[in-house]
Amino acid sequence: HFLQIWIEPSQRGIAPSYEQVHFDVAARRGRLALIASPDGAAGSVRIHQDARVYAGLFDGAEEATLPVLPARRAYVHVARGAAEVNGRSLAAGDALRLEGEASVRIGRARGAEVLAFDLP
């Protein structure tokens, strides 16, 4: 399963690059693990944008909450399975854009693999 996502860089003229990091299941099980960030925090891949990307695996009663700072947005994509995100049911391939929300809340999942984006 390959999902390609483009995030526009914050400046022009940056040389293209490619990075690949493996995040094991335990690091993502029942929580949102940071996988991409502008500073490579927590072993994440570096991106040239004030954005952070999180990945999580959820099933049954597993839940996670990601705070969203004021004036920022969130985007959530369910890559596989199904989950409830901020009270909305999403299935594989569904996405949800959130603006003006204080957090992203993921739960009530069935074999879900979820990506959450913290965006400017």
pLDDT tens digits, residue range 22-31? 999 999 999 9
Give the Cα separation of 7 and 36 in Å (integer). 11
Name the DSSP letter for residue 44. Answer: P
Beta-bridged to residue 58, according to DSSP, are 112
Q: By C-alpha distance, which of 80, 73, 72, 74 is closest to 111?
A: 80
State phi, psi for 80 to the nearest 5 degrees.
Answer: -155, 160
The predicted-structure confidence for 82-97, as pLDDT tens digits, reads as follows 999 999 999 999 999 9
This prediction has a pTM of 0.95
Give residue 4's pLDDT: 83
Is 90 exceeded by the pLDDT of residue 117?
yes
